[in-house]
Copies of this chain bind each other. A is one copy, B any other.
């Protein structure tokens, strides 16, 4: 057991931690994970290197906090008001909008793409985060597809087995080609075409 911190000090600590995460988010987005400098992040957050280490003992632990923050922002911006049971049509439309949003956020797309591969190594500190993220995405999209099927909104020839994983894969893969050559792929339009081919109604 640790002692309960005093309220004022605790609030100050939380604010400082949040500031570091925000700064790191920007640094990782601008320079990538490997390119970002902890020394610079500490300076830009107004803390010493020791202060940074107090909150985040490793660069990886700072990354994990950044990713959680990114998920929170995505959730607020794109998945606010999503209730169970999932409205499949609504969720696909939100997913398409998220891909559109990503097309103007190269840094964060690059960070996620690089990290997903890096963290596929089970010994990587962000492995569980990434594995859980994919599981959750597959589950949500799977529920959306099941909802569409139950409502008769899927085209007759759509094979639903593994479709959730495949749609996520499509987005991930399009992002890689877009990162390599932004002019070569319109990832948002391409993903919309893929979705449009699945359903009998307009996704909006």
Residues of B within 8 Å of A113, CB to CB, are 117, 120
Kindly state whether residue A155 has any CB partner on chain B within 8 Å. Answer: yes
Partner of A165, one of B131, B165, B185: B185
Selected from B130, B134, B157, the residue in CB contact (under 8 A) with A155 is: B157
Interface residues on A, range: 35 or more
**Nearest chain-B residue to A191 (Cβ)?**
B166
Binds B, one of A20-28, A47-55, A167-175: A167-175
What does DSSP make chain A's interface, helix, strand, loop or mixed?
helix
Interface locus among A7-15, A68-76, A77-85, A176-184: A176-184
Contact partner of A180 (CB less than 8 A), chosen from B120, B155, B184, B190, is: B120
Q: For chain A, residues 145 to 159, give those with C-beta under 8 angstroms from any C-beta of chain B.
A: 155, 157-159
Query: Which residues of A are at the interface with B, using a C-beta cutoff of 8 A?
Result: 32, 110, 113-114, 116-121, 127, 130-131, 134-135, 138, 155, 157-159, 161-162, 165-166, 168-174, 176-177, 179-181, 184-186, 189-190, 193-194, 196-197
